Structure 1
Amino acid sequence: MSTVLTITLNPTVDLFAETDVVRPVRKIRTSNDRCDPGGGGINVARVITEMGGDAEALFLCGGPTGTWLNALLEKAGIRRHMLPISGDTRVAYAVHERGSGFDYRFVPAGPSVSAQEIEPCMEIIRSRNARYVVASGSLPAAAPPDTYARMARIVAEQGGRFVLDTSGDGLRVTLEQARVFLVKPSIGELGQFVGHELDEQAAREAAMNLVRRGAAEMVAVTMGAQGALLATAEGVMKMPAPRVKARSAIGAGDSFLGAMVWALAKDWVVKGAFHLGIAAGAAAVLTPGTQLCRHEDIRSLYPMSPNANTEREGGID
């Protein structure tokens, strides 16, 4: 039985490459090509595994690309449970333009997934009875909008902690119909949730409103290079991101969440777990494309967090 079970209903095979300049019409020659298993929950499981934690990735996949995804997870050493669907798993592609430093990301919607194909996920969640269940990523087309809300209720009934990282209807319906332990929107996703663009002060107020009305015990709002906010019943704290030389921002949010959940599952105090998440997000920025954070980079960046040694229980092995 895993301490952390991650859920990915719309996973990807993530392709990444670099080039000097992206131009129309002409062939663009690439270098440093790589492919990784992707999707929010899978990435969270990758981070927890990288840190030596106990995670199992539950995911839907289908077609030849689903077989490819499963092989990539096998190669990465990720413990997993694959549930088949009729559609083909999507393939996403990102290109880093060295001349500008920009990432160009191409993300297909993915296959339609029926309620019947999702139902086995509910049975797996019940059977695993994990301490933490992390549902991360977009809902597939045709999936019922209350899918994550149902999962949250199952986890709560079993005494576990449900963590959510999604957007759109999946976020809105879950926070209307169920209570989650931790929700992690980006500031843009939180703005979409409330219906207008947010500055930092408005993001603080929106996050605290979710805590006050009982939708979430904690709300972590990631803000890219500006760091993150964490709202709890005690108020809102902000943690700036360490200054690093950025190679790619891809996967920073998943790295943040994976490290924070790893720390919480190790019974760290909340502030220490939050600061570790910040360090992991910054560590992800140091790596190219879809590589995510590395354990050694997290270890080097975490002491940069204020009062890091007094805000945790345990340590980074």
Structure 2
Amino acid sequence: MMNIATLTLNPTIDIAYVVEKLEHTDKLRAPPQTVDPGGGGLNVARVFVRMGGNARCIYLSGGSTGIALDALLDLHQLVREKIAIGGETRISPVIYEKSSSHEYRIVPAGPQVSQAECDACLQRVSEIDCDYLVMSGSLPRGVPSNFYAQAAAVAHRRGIRTVLDTSGDALAAAIADGGFELIKPNLKEFQDLIGEKLTDINAICEAAGKVVAQGGARLVAVSMGEFGGVLASEAGTVVLGAPEVETNSAVGAGDSCVAAIVHGLASGKSDEDAFRLGIAAGAAALITSGTGLAAADDIEDLYRKSHPPS
């Protein structure tokens, strides 16, 4: 059985609403809301478990909203290890406007986290037993930009393969230390990392290959939404297209992609086929409305139909 642990420093309660049209001042009546545990690592765990793997969720949780998040994770029957913090866990509303088919996502900064709470996370990483540690999502206030690099160093000393999906200074600091099994920025995050607004596919491939050559990660997967993605490794670069699907929600598409790539790698697929599975999972998440994330059957169906293995 494939075992991973996920680390989520800035989890959220995702609440999805559907309204006919956004109007200021007026009360907007909506069908019943959907509420799910969210944040990078928790989303990865949800999809990974659906695909048949085991995932242990390590996450920060605090305040009355933290209690609600804990309960949501229990409803999803996820194995969880809460690190208590003094701040309030954030709530992220997602509003779908039917008249325009537009989705609006509000993402708060998250709580202030103390050094002692950061240290508790590192201590927990030093104790986990897993094949992969997936670190995903933004860093809340108070967490140093090199925290993921610190956590990866702890995991690497124990022979655990690490996966990172983050952005900005946190991604740059982690890549500088290197040693990751996989990083998965989207195109904008990758452009920010490189410091150039790359749009030419050959230039993107070359830049991703340089990150691999410099030891940042064994695999660099750059997701590009409807345009598919680029996978760089020592063997070279692969460009894959994305399945054409009707988009109902973009929430968790990147996290679903990460979960499926890791599932593919852990189950013995080649790097390219694991990436194929990840691209399929990203598209499967788009099919699902609100904060539902990718369904296992949709992932398998899109993988089989759109990217048959060679």
Alignment of 1:94-133 (within 5 A): 94-133=94-133
- What does residue 288 of structure 1 align with? 289
**Partner AA of 1:207 in structure 2:** A
In the alignment, which residue of structure 2 is the partner of 1:210?
211
Q: Which residue of 2 aligns with 1:220?
A: 221
Partner of residue 29, structure 1 = 29
User: 1:270 maps to which residue?
Assistant: 271
What amino acid is aligned across from residue 171 of structure 2 in structure 1? L
Deviation at 1:2, TM superposition (A): 7.4
| Partner in structure 1 of residue 40 of structure 2 | 40
Give the gaps of 5 or more residues in structure 2: none
Q: Any residues of structure 2 matched to 1:288-307 within 5 Å, and which?
A: 288-307=289-308
TM-score normalised to structure 2 length? 0.96
Count of aligned pairs between the two proteins? 309
Alignment partners' CA distance in 2, 1:20 and 1:223: 30
CA distance in 2, matches of 1:258, 1:306: 17
Q: By how many angstroms is 1:32 displaced?
A: 4.6
User: Partner residue of 1:11?
Assistant: 11
Say whether 1:256 aligns with 2:257.
yes
Tell me which residue corresponds to 1:49: 49
Report the Cα distance in structure 2 between the residues aligned to 1:27 and 1:243, rounded to whole angstroms: 36
> What's the RMSD between the two structures over aligned residues?
1.4
Q: Deviations over 1:104-134 (max 9, x none)?
A: 0111000011221011222222211321000
Other-structure match for 2:157: 157
Paired residue secondary structure (1:152): helix
> 2: distance between equivalents of 1:307 and 1:247?
25
Partner AA of 1:90 in structure 2 = R
Partner of 2:188 in structure 1?
Answer: 188
CA contact (8 A) 2:17 2:96 kept: yes
Which is worse superposed, 17-26 or 40-49? 17-26
Distance, in Å, in 2 between the alignment partners of 1:272 and 1:215 is: 22
- Quick one: structure 1 residues 205 and 32, their matched pair in 2 at CA, closer, same or farther if it must change by over 3 Å? farther
Structure 1 pair 2/296, CA: closer, same or farther in 2 (3 Å)?
Answer: closer
C-alpha separation between the residues in 1 aligned to 2:187 and 2:306?
21
Deviation at 1:301, TM superposition (A): 1.0
Does 1:176 pair with 2:176? yes
Once the two structures are overlaid, the 10-residue window that deviates more, 73-82 or 189-198, is 189-198
Q: Which residue type is aligned with residue 211 of structure 1?
A: V
Aligned-pair identity (%):
42
Contact 1:129 1:155 in 2 (8 A): no
TM-score (norm 1): 0.94
Check whether the contact 1:113–1:142 (CA below 8 A) recurs between aligned residues: yes
Structure 1 segments, 4+ long, off by >4 Å, are: none
Q: In 2, distance between residues paired with 1:44 and 1:12?
A: 13
1:190 is displaced (CA, Å) by 0.8
